[in-house]
Amino acid sequence: MYEFLAVRRLVAVCLLAGAGAATYLVGSGRFDYAAHFLAGAGGTLILIGATSFLWHLLRSRWPSIFASAAPAIASATLISIGFGLVAEFTVFAAPVADIVDIVHQSLGAVVVGMACILLPGSRGSWIATLVSDGTIGALGLVMIMIGAALVGII
């Protein structure tokens, strides 16, 4: 049962991220819009995977305090948006940061953050949670790599 919930979450996140990127490609014809969407979604998934695993470990120790992972996922989403802002204003600012890129990154982060809040993750053993959240993090890395490939970085 719990493994089904984790798979359902993973499939939903993949479908949402794929639909978002495809919408950008079809609607605008610009690869950089889809790339920024995927980068925001991927970075957020990496943080959500790490945060969810930590939350599961804390829940096993203090179940009444750490009952719901929604606050941790929402915090990870906001932190990811903050990382995107910092990256856009420092690393990728050529000569100035592009607000459109920031919006696309943030939209990708919010879409996967909401999906992960609405669909529960694994509540099984810590090993099942590690596999589930590790897969979410790996998916995030793949999304970032696809986005980088779309704009020719890799």
| CA distance linking residue 108 with residue 20, whole number of Å | 8
pLDDT of residue 40: 92
Say whether pLDDT at 110 is over 90.
yes
pLDDT of residue 2: 52
Say whether pLDDT at 143 is over 90.
no
| CA distance linking residue 116 with residue 95, whole number of Å | 35
Average pLDDT, the chain: 82
| CA distance linking residue 150 with residue 154, whole number of Å | 8
Say whether pLDDT at 28 is over 80.
no
Spatial neighbors of 99 by CB under 8 A, at least 6 apart, are: none
Tokens 């053993």 correspond to what residue? 125
pLDDT of residue 120: 72
If we measure between CA atoms, which residue out of 44, 69, 75 comes closest to residue 123? 69
CB 94 within 8 A of CB 58: no
Mean pLDDT of 81-104: 82
